[in-house]
Chains A and B, each alone.
Chain A
Amino acid sequence: MLHKVRKQAILILLVIVAIIAGCVQKKEPPVSSDIIAKFFATTEELSSLIKQKDIVVIDARSAEDFQKLHIQNAVNIPKSQFREPKALNEILKYKSENGFFIPPAMAEKILGNAGIDANTRVIVYDSITFPDASIIWALLKYYGHDNVQVLKGGFEKWVSEGRSVSSMPSKIQKKSFVAKPRIEMVASREWLIKNRENVIILDMRSFDEYVGVNPAGNPRGGHLPGAVSLDWTHLAGNETVKSPAEIQAILAEAGVTKNKEVVAYCNIGFGRSTYGMMVLSMLGYNARVYGGSFEDWSNADDLEVATTKIGSFKDWRQ
């Protein structure tokens, strides 16, 4: 009898220990420098690689900035190319239905014209932080090209280190880029409606846009119901990106965990949202981007947009 009680006691204790072990929050392991190196190239690294034939350096800044000065032999792909007025209707339809910001034919043309094929190593930069560089990163990743990194510190760091720059047009040898979409990287409107209860929706826009006081050109201001606000600038700080430990702390405060898939969105589906997806992917989160983003959601009249009730504040003297 005594043995039986002891056995039961030990069994119950084991169960309790298992429950505690399951409930205690696991601290995220540090992100190794190898993983960070997969996402970022240093200025020293680019400097040593720049004359190699199988490297293409993409300047993701505006055409105006590029024309003034750029890294030698860099090719300019400004984000304005993804909102060409002539193709805008086609783009909007595609991104709403497919969850990515440009159709494959357009991607093949832009990337092929930039001299990228399946064997090309791509290093992309913008000014210092990298929302615009993340667009090219996401574009290549989504269409099946993994060999891409963002230049840490961007053009500003490159210039501050006295490295060579040019204002001359670059010589580009066009290549054939074959787009192979990875649909697991994106969320369409339909997908999001089906799955929104099971994912963390992350709003990478400013808090003003999230609350709804700044509709940013959309018919309705606010955010997707249930979305968590995380202004992308909080992740960038004054550098290209904050340290993994700092980002993990910010994500934890926002309630973003690794046990759920994360869908990042911004206003038009590239830039701030692709930045979020890249940072989350670097830290090992399972992340998608909602290519349609708030522009798509806000224009669908049958979908609810959440806002903070303006004017619900009451002066206690009244």
Chain B
Amino acid sequence: MRSLVNKISLSALFFITAITITLIISAGSAEAAKREALLQGQILTEKCLSAGRLSACYIEWTSKSPVVLFTGDRKLYRIELHRLAQWKLDNAFGKQVVLKGIIKGNKIMANDIAVLGGKKKLSKACL
């Protein structure tokens, strides 16, 4: 009987310990997910990207297609404005940038942006 109680107690302890470790790890991950990251890439729309228009992306498409950051390693992040002003994002359209924000899955909650060299020109038809 005592042996059975011991076994149950030990099993409960292992169970609780496992849950605790999982909680601690997930709490740490959640905290890390709230931290800002820096990403480098080009500001485009999903429509431009799917049409392969990396160097001539129509600016009016921005109102119809989500604005994205396309990084050098071919990852795509939908941009949502968090603390970043709309005009700053507009100025960076089509250009290579460093974007600062919080990554949530395939989205980045944008806080700031810096335009790098090698400006991509927008089509004249759009301006």
Instruction: Tell me whether A213 and B72 are in contact (CB under 8 A).
Output: no
Instruction: Tell me whether A2 and B34 are in contact (CB under 8 A).
Output: no
- Tell yes or no: A23 within 8 A of B by CB: yes
User: Which A residue's beta carbon lies closest to that of B16?
Assistant: A16
Instruction: Tell me whether A234 and B116 are in contact (CB under 8 A).
Output: no
Instruction: Tell me whether B96 and A313 are in contact (CB under 8 A).
Output: yes
Instruction: Tell me whether B72 and A317 are in contact (CB under 8 A).
Output: no
Q: Select B116's contact among A24, A213, A250, beta carbons within 8 Å.
A: A213
Instruction: Tell me whether A310 and B13 are in contact (CB under 8 A).
Output: no
A6 and B116 CA atoms in complex are apart in Å by: 63
Instruction: Tell me whether B34 and A5 are in contact (CB under 8 A).
Output: no
Instruction: Tell me whether A252 and B34 are in contact (CB under 8 A).
Output: yes
> Looking at chain B's contact residues, is the secondary structure mostly helix, strand, loop, or mixed?
mixed
Instruction: Tell me whether A5 and B9 are in contact (CB under 8 A).
Output: yes
Q: Which B residues touch A252, using CB under 8 A? A: 34
20 interchain pairs, CB-CB under 8 A = A1-B2, A2-B5, A2-B6, A5-B6, A6-B9, A12-B13, A16-B17, A20-B24, A23-B28, A207-B114, A208-B115, A211-B114, A254-B35, A255-B35, A308-B114, A310-B116, A311-B117, A313-B96, A316-B54, A317-B52
Q: Which residues of B contact A (CB under 8 A)?
A: 2, 5-6, 9-10, 12-13, 16-17, 20, 23-24, 27-28, 31, 34-36, 38, 40-42, 52, 54, 70-72, 74, 83, 96, 98, 100, 102, 111-118
Please provide the 8 A-B residue pairs with the shortest distance between their CB atoms, ordered closest to farther: A211-B114, A207-B112, A314-B72, A313-B96, A207-B114, A313-B72, A208-B114, A16-B20
